[in-house]
Structure 1
Amino acid sequence: MQLPSFGKLVLNALYYRTAAGAGSKLLSGGTIVAFDHDTGLFNIVRDGSLLVTDDRITTIFNTTSPNGIPENTEIVNCTNKIITPGFIDTHRHGWQTVFKTLGSNTTLGEYANRYSALVGLNLFTPSDIYISQLAGIHEALAAGVTTILDHAHHTWTRDHAAAGWQASVDSSARIFFAYTFQNTSTDFQVPQQMAHWRELAASAVPGLATLCISYDDFTGNPENITQAVVNLAKDDNVAVLTTHQVEGPWLLGNTPEDLNRVGILNSSVPVVISHTSFLTARGAQLLRNTNQHISITAESEMHYGHVHPSSHLILDQASLGIDTHFTFSTDILTQARIWLQRVRERFYSYTVVDLWEVPANNPMSVNQAFLLATRKGGLALGRNDIGIIAPSAKADLVVWDGRSPAMLGWTDPIAAVILHASVGDIEHVLVDGQFVKRDKKLVIEGYEDVQDRFLDSARRIQGVLKDTPLPQQTGTFLTGYPYGPVKQADVQRGDGTGYGPSYV
């Protein structure tokens, strides 16, 4: 495939890493959070070693100095370190990275009219999309996120869509690039987008990036358009199809019932439904019967207010995502921690508040939170070989500094990561057996150039938004439901003294 100009930036870096990283590596002397397929739980190997050959985990040893290691194997000293699978993010919009810090106090209503795919075309050139997507993925890699399902709704033109795809290909992360079929542009609508998707699929080179589909109009589009999307997904056996579902007063649809009605839920195509705010009991039953999954984006759903009243009841079919990382954390570790404590609080409240009883047990374990952040993400994407450390699994790995101030004194490695670590404690990250972060620094040749190009785009786009008045949240939202005032917290005495402005 001819490489577009916006992709030449990292071509040499990709060649360099592939040539330099081939062969085998032994991660020696660490505590390994391995996965046991028989029990579905973890097998903790202390003072063990992990052999990686090319892109796969070959062997897990119960010793720091195993025999029979291939010649010229690189030895990586992991003494006093914790080795875990890389985190899996099953919902993100990478193209929005340049908006960082502009939406610190935004709502979902304001987001729709200021930062969403509905309004992005006039702000972004294809080069802006490329560098924003690329920098955002690099940010995720640094945070130990090795796999991303990117809901790419920047598909306003062929060039914008291709730019995001090329950035994903160039990123060194495992990206499921879900090209969005949508009618946000009058000149490039779903039929033209489907044709472009087929072109990209036909010319794609096997690698870490996989072309997928996202579609948010199962409820609103004409049946023939929706059925054409479903037929494409099924006929091409796409790796994943994803959609947003936010009900309540948002009325965005795309419920499990909607997807089941058009024949995509009960198919061989893995389906990930993000948010699933106001999921019904019938929808949950459909997800279980078809073994399809949701993506809980805990921080997003709290930040924007589309909430998650029933997600804690369907954790057996759940995974974790980030959503709009320009507004908050980019790492799945934070999402796992927030969601763990949110579920605990939810179940505790029933016992303490409704029953006036003293809790006799903790309602959710750190093990369950870790599963959501790793293994469950792999299953949501239809992959049994990512999100785990096991023989033949992909070598997507994170190595944690067990002697950092935050982790010093740990005994339970999963608790150490979920409840005590930060992304600053990540020493190494490998994707497909190659280092993308080493000794706490990204291994990205030319990364300073990426930063400079990103900052140029960010300053220009942020400048436009700073000069654009905030949309008024009065009257009714797009769906016809009225905006309603929300009581604001104030940490200072007086009336309305503490909320303050946004310092952009």
Structure 2
Amino acid sequence: MTHYIRNIVNHRAVTPAATLIRGATILSMDEKIGNIERGDILITGSTINAVGQGLEAPGAHVIDATNMIVTPGMVDSHRHAWEGQLRRINANATCLEDYSNATHFSFAKYYRPSDIYIGNLLTALGAIDAGITTMIDNSHNSRTAAHSDAAVEALLDSGIRAVHASGAPVSGEWDKAHWPGNWQRLQDKYFSNNPDSLVTPAVMAQLEPELWAEARRLGLPIVTEFFGAEMGAELKSLHQQGLLGPDNIFNHCTALPDEGWEILREAGVRVNVCPRSDAHYGIEDGMFAIEAAHRHGIAPGLSVDNETSYSTDMFMEMRVAFYLQRVMGMHRQTHCCDSVHALTTLPAARLLRAATLDGAYCAGLQDKVGSLTPGKQADLILINAGDINLYPSGNAFGTVVHAAERSNIDTVMIGGRIVKQNGRVVGVDSARLHAAIDESREHLFTAAGYKPDAFAETFLPLDAAH
């Protein structure tokens, strides 16, 4: 089965010419607009028209946002979307090898285009449900042109905003003849004549200057899995050759020495960090790098990385980030909170910025999304602070970062179009989606010789043992 069904999601609903969100608590992430305890947002078509108080728009579709907190849509700046149907298959992984054995060295080799499609679609819909309106899709299982097409078409069908970074597989057999020419082909087929597309192209490549040169010829951002202790020594030479720049996006950046961070800052390299992933898989020193990044003048985005071991939401990413940085600070000093050596960790508001505006910068979309700014795209979420687990909301940032869950997200809007409403993702045929997921999993499990065990403490597909 190399075809796939593309009518699982129906986006035929007409976007109103104007929408007025009225009476919300607004966390704008825009320094000029600030935060408004009770305010309004006027949206015209796909664009934010005004943010303020007492706005009027006769004839507009009105959303009563009483007891709602409105924030920009969250940005996941590093996600392997093709793995969607492998959710929590490796919950107790302890190292990067565990992750690779459960993906690259087993199931990945047996992915058909239909499996890529359903993996990407499921991941994107799950992201929308969790208030993630933009993600950078690290698609390193594009075995053929058909696989690449399936990945892009799933993102387009989902309605998410995405940067699709196409990359070659890590293991198994694939059509090597379409690399790196696949990047040009994808650009010509899906993007060159569609400047308003929610999906834009990028490439995924390691420290490979010859591939970077082709990406730059095409004007495409370059996404790299970057582990600082292992790869940091190569930065000086790359920088001296002029091969690092603002079109580079580095994931993880764990255990990177200060001189490496200085090179990244000087070159303008974009960075994202992975609070849960780095700890869960014990990547290098196991600690995400937000403190080092900020110390060197870099504001990284946050990323979920994958769902093979944990959930998709940025709420947990922000919480883990908050507490891990506290632990890091405590290890560095032993004085009490009221001393001159008190911890200087990022507060809730700054972590929400990391999940929104800083992520938008990482994706190169800061002029379009990441803040509730007039002229930007209307990508936003409405959190119901009247829900029993959130009411009363003593602090808006604290409510979002420390208490909110995906179930509290009432509405999600991308480009002015409502994609989640009344707590449910719009237009999804759940029966067809579940059937497609189940068919894909059955194929992958059978092909890899894997017998699913809902209570397994470890993951060991037969292929990994060979």
Normalised by the length of structure 2, the TM-score is 0.88
Gaps of 5+ in 2: 461-466
Work out which of the two has the higher radius of gyration on C-alpha atoms and give 1 or 2.
1
2:346 corresponds to which residue?
A: 364
Partner of 1:435: 418
- The residue number in structure 1 matching 2:441 is 458
Cα offset, 1:371, TM superposition: 1.0
Q: 2:117 aligns with which of 130, 142, 163?
A: 130
Q: Deviations over 1:280-334 (max 9, x none)?
A: 2121111211232221111111111111375421133311001121210201121
Contact 2:81 2:123 (8 Å CA) reproduced? yes
Structure 2 counterpart of 1:344: 326
Q: Distance in 2 between matches of 1:7 and 1:57?
A: 34
Distance 1:174 1:371 in 2: 18
Q: Deviations along 1:476-504, whole A, 9 cap, x unmatched?
A: xxxxxxxxxxxxxxxxxxxxxxx984599
> 2:63 maps to what in 1?
76
- Equivalent position amino acid for 1:9 in 2: N
Corresponding residue number in structure 2 for 1:444:
427
- What is the aligned partner in structure 1 of residue 216 from structure 2? 234
Please point out which of 388, 393, 405 is paired with 1:410: 393
Q: Deviations over 1:240-287 (max 9, x none)?
A: 321101254xx4679644653553423x52x22111122121211112
For residues 301-380 of structure 1, the aligned pairs below 5 Å read 301-306=278-283, 307-308=286-287, 310-315=289-294, 316-352=298-334, 360=342, 363-380=345-362
Identity of aligned residues (%): 21
1:294 matched to 2:285? The reply is no
2:19 is aligned with what amino acid?
Answer: K
CA–CA distance in structure 1, aligned partners of residues 41 and 257 of structure 2: 43
Q: For 1:412-456, what per-residue CA distance to the aligned partner results, in whole angstroms no more than 9, with x for missing partners?
A: 211110011111111111111111100001102424312221122
Q: Flag the 1:258–1:415 CA change in 2: closer, same or farther, 3 A.
A: farther
SS at match of 1:9: coil
- Using the TM superposition, give the Cα deviation of residue 468 of structure 1 relative to its aligned residue in structure 2, in angstroms: 6.7
Letter of the aligned partner of 2:27 in structure 1?
A: V
CA RMSD of aligned residues (A): 2.9
**Change in CA separation of 1:134 and 1:261 when aligned onto 2, cut-off 3 Å:** farther
SS of 2:400 mapped into structure 1: helix
Kept in 2: contact 1:7–1:167 (CA 8 A): no
Deviations 1:391-412 (A, max 9, x none): 1111111100111122111132
Match of 2:185 among 194, 199, 223: 199
Task: Pick from 145, 167, 175 the counterpart of residue 158 of structure 1.
Answer: 145
* Cα distance in structure 1, aligned partners of 2:85 and 2:456: 24
* Change in 2 beyond 3 A, CA 1:122/1:107: same
Structure 2 vs 1, CA of residues 118 and 332 (structure 1 numbering), >3 Å: closer, same or farther? same
Give the AA of the match of 1:427. D
Secondary structure, aligned partner of 1:308: coil
Distance 1:436 1:322, change over 3 A: same
Looking at structure 1, the residues matched to 61 and 95 of structure 2 have their Cα atoms a distance apart, in angstroms, of: 49
Amino acid at match of 1:392: G
Deviations 1:72-91 (A, max 9, x none): x1111101110000110011
Aligned positions, number:
448
CA contact (8 A) 1:95 1:152 kept: yes
Q: Residue 324 of structure 2 aligns to a residue in which SS?
A: helix
Task: Output one character per residue of 1:78-121: Cα deviation in whole Å (capped at 9) or x when no partner.
Answer: 01110000110011101111212220112334435522334444
State the AA in 1 paired with 2:239.
N
**What secondary structure sits across from 1:457 in the alignment?**
helix
Cα offset, 1:172, TM superposition: 0.3
- Are 1:108 and 2:89 matched, yes or no? no
1:47 maps to amino acid: R
5+ unaligned residues in a row in structure 1: which ranges? Answer: 219-225, 471-498
Larger relative contact order (Cα-Cα within 8 Å, sequence gap ≥ 6): 2
Change (3 A) 1:281 1:439: same
Equivalence for 1:246: 227
Q: Does 1:382 align with 2:359?
A: no
Partner of 1:215: 205
Q: Give, as a single letter, the amino acid of the residue that structure 1 aligns with 2:327.
A: E
Q: Deviations over 1:20-64 (max 9, x none)?
A: 1142111111111123345xxx7111221111111111101212x
